[in-house]
Structure 1
Amino acid sequence: MRSNQYKLVELFLIFVLIPVSFAITYPIWMKMIIGFFGFIYVIYMLLKVEKNKFKVASNLNWNQFWKTTFIKLVGIAIITSIYMQIVDIDNLFIVVLYKPLLWIAILFVYSFFSVYPQELIYRTFFFQRYQSLFKSEWLVIIVNATLFSLAHIFFKNTLVMFLTFIGGILFALTYKKTKSTLLVSIEHAIYGCWLFTVGMGEMLGFPS
């Protein structure tokens, strides 16, 4: 019981209090320090408490992963392209057409230095650490997606919150199915890179 109480307090601090605090105005260096030590704490808990080995499983079903990810990407591409065509046509594919070097650089930096840490925290750490607190499989997925959306509250954009909630559900389902940080990170990177490519990067914090 005490262990569960500690986990609930820990969950609140890491996934609610800290993200919400980032939406409040105070010095950026303080936010960076909080974020840094928060990430260090997560890595420590994964290694020392959850006994995570950070090894790529040898039995991953790559063919099924690529197939399902491609199908979902096609759906995302159609919906977001139509949205940009209707709502913000001036920015449709603007970066890839006019700043291709920036486009390549952002795809690289985002994929390796943003996506993977996010997935370590919001999928690997969250599910290994807190899944036992939830009796319902769907409840833990919805809570995870909600907290992932909350992590983006500092953008102060309703559409961003909605997109990250949907993304959170997709990523949670993938992690639940594969138990692979690598696969869910690849999926996350693909969808995020597409949003930047199609022209929705500015609202998601990408330079343009």
Structure 2
Amino acid sequence: MGFFYIVFMLLKVEKEKFRIAKNLNFRLFIKQTLVKFLVIVCITTLFVWLTNKEALFMVLINKPKLWLFILFIYSAFSVYPQELVYRTFYFKRYHNLFKNKNLFIFLNAVVFSLGHIFFKNTLVIVLTFLGGLLFAITYNKTKSTLLVTIEHAIYGCWLFTVGMGDMLGFPE
């Protein structure tokens, strides 16, 4: 219900148009996202290898159909709604309240991480805070729900792929 309320508010109150902006710099976005992704790949692979070697790429190797299914469901039904709520709505609704953009981005990351508190897992809170910073910075630069959704989906799908899915609430 909350998600539908946010969509209603974006469309009717904030007069947000759901369309792809023509001035997006996809080439720059891809380069920047690839660099960040490679750093995330290195850190998370090392983390899983050091903390739980058995989980490393377990679902991808042992249950590839489940892996593909979860990547699709996660991207379509979790990432996109989160980006509408935590970036599109938040930025549209609250950007005028802050003169300091860095504080605004920081608070967005805090709110995003607190949205994951039901996992009752400190590592999830830390990861979603860091992800929230990355996504808020991307959204602040691009003003594009599409680009930040792509970025969020790439990083989130990677976490499941590398073997962190159980921690993030996905079956393994």
| TM-score of the aligned structures, taking structure 2 as reference length | 0.99
- 2:63 corresponding residue in structure 1: 99
Corresponding position: 1:163 with 2:127 = yes
Percentage of identical aligned residues:
63
- Give the superposition deviation at 1:139: 0.5
From 91, 94, 98, give the equivalent of 1:130: 94
Aligned equivalents of 1:163, 1:56: Cα separation in 2: 28
Structure 1: segments with no counterpart, 5+ residues: 1-35
- Give the superposition deviation at 1:98: 0.3
Note the aligned Cα RMSD (angstroms). Answer: 0.6
Corresponding position: 1:57 with 2:16 = no
Structure 1 residues 36-70: Cα deviation after superposition (integer angstroms, max 9, x where no partner): 2x112111110111110101001110000111001
Alignment of 1:38-187 (within 5 A): 38-187=2-151
Number of positions where the alignment pairs a residue of Structure 1 with one of Structure 2: 172
Structure 2: segments with no counterpart, 5+ residues: none
The structure having more radius of gyration, on CA atoms, is 1
- 1:201 corresponding residue in structure 2: 165
Aligned equivalents of 1:206, 1:136: Cα separation in 2: 37
- Give the superposition deviation at 1:135: 1.5
Aligned equivalents of 1:195, 1:66: Cα separation in 2: 19
- Give the superposition deviation at 1:138: 0.4
Moved segments of 4+, more than 3 Å: none
